[in-house]
Amino acid sequence: MGLFTGRKGLVLGIANERSIAWAITENLHREGAEMGFTHLPDAGDRPKNQNKVAKLVDPIGSKFLMPMDVCNDEHIDAVIAKAVETFGQIDFIVHSIAFAPPADLTGPTYASSRNGFKTAMEISAYSLLAVAGAAKRRNALSKDASILTLTYFGGEEVIPGYNLMGICKAALECSVRYLASELGPDGVRVNGISAGPVKTVSAMGVGDFDDMLNLYRGISPMRRNISADEVGKTGMALLSDLSSGITGEIVHVDCGFSIMGAPPADFFQQPEAKA
Ligand SMILES: NC(=O)c1ccc[n+]([C@@H]2O[C@H](COP(=O)([O-])OP(=O)(O)OC[C@H]3O[C@@H](n4cnc5c(N)ncnc54)[C@H](O)[C@@H]3O)[C@@H](O)[C@H]2O)c1
């Protein structure tokens, strides 16, 4: 029997096999979870996004796959309604969604457009509140449900290149705490994982990714980068009964990078650091 045998939930934010949401899904599936999924709606006639996600989730027995744009309240409500129709109540929600218009993301933050800021905040931070709100209104969450979102250290400290998304992540992390406080009396937990860099579609839009990986490898106490599966394992644990006393937390899965106030001495001996 797996940790998730008999447990049901929603995973929002798989784009392809590199997505962090997919790494979490693989761990949930291994433990016996039943899941419904969403994909970004396709423009035009070709179901490109749908096909990419279906190729991954069909073989693991997906209970449903629906289009959902988090900027559209009707989409969100339809997904929650489908989850209730399929599962009754759900035990977990994975929210693994972020976006900022590239022109606004490249910075500096003071050059962000008003509309770019609104879009980035709406998709990357407000969407967690919207999904939680829709689930609450439909009484979709079981008495020990767990909600998980994904964030990054650039929401706590300045990471050059992360720019506008850092501001969104600060709002997202604060939303985790408010939601945890508001949903806690129902038994519902809300947490975030602050992940180190993982090579995904979204990550490639933020600065020079290979430099970032080198930096993390050189500075992290563990002197390496994380794997998507390490985020997947911790995500699974935060959604499971293993973490039944944890809520409102942002757990860093970053090989310790975020605890360092300055690079270690050996960082300056690395050829890439000297270059
Ligand atoms: N990859 C990293 O290095 C890293 C590190 C820390 C945190 N994160 C966070 O992890 C989460 C997942 O990102 P990822 O790296 O797996 O990349 P990804 O591109 O695989 O996932 C991002 C998802 O957001 C979805 N999305 C974007 N706009 C949407 C909208 N309007 N409606 C619905 N869905 C929408 C995309 O379809 C995609 O599935 C994001 O919140 C990201 O900021 C990523």
Query: Which tens digits make up the pLDDT trace of 57-91?
Result: 999 999 999 999 999 999 999 999 999 999 999 99
Amino acid 38: pLDDT: 98
Helix (H) or strand (E) holding 29: helix 20-30
Whether 152 sits among the annotated catalytic residues: the reply is: yes
Amino acid 274: pLDDT: 44
Angstrom distance (rounded) from CA 39 to CA 53: 7
The finding on whether 201 has its CB within 6 A of some atom of ligand 1 is: yes
Whether 126 sits among the annotated catalytic residues: the reply is: no
Mean pLDDT across the chain, nearest whole number?
96
- Kindly tell me if the per-residue pLDDT of 168 is higher than 90: yes
Residues near 209 by Cβ (< 8 Å), separated by ≥ 6? 197, 199, 203
Q: 215 C-alpha vs ligand 1 centroid, how far in Å? A: 22
Atom of ligand 1 nearest to the CA of 172: 41
Amino acid 202: pLDDT: 86
Q: Looking at domain 8-274, which of 3.40.50.720, 3.40.50.150, 3.40.720.10, 3.40.640.10 is its CATH number?
A: 3.40.50.720
- Kindly tell me if the per-residue pLDDT of 273 is higher than 70: no
pLDDT tens-digit profile of 184-221? 999 999 999 999 999 998 888 776 888 899 999 999 99
pLDDT tens-digit profile of 130-144? 999 999 999 999 999
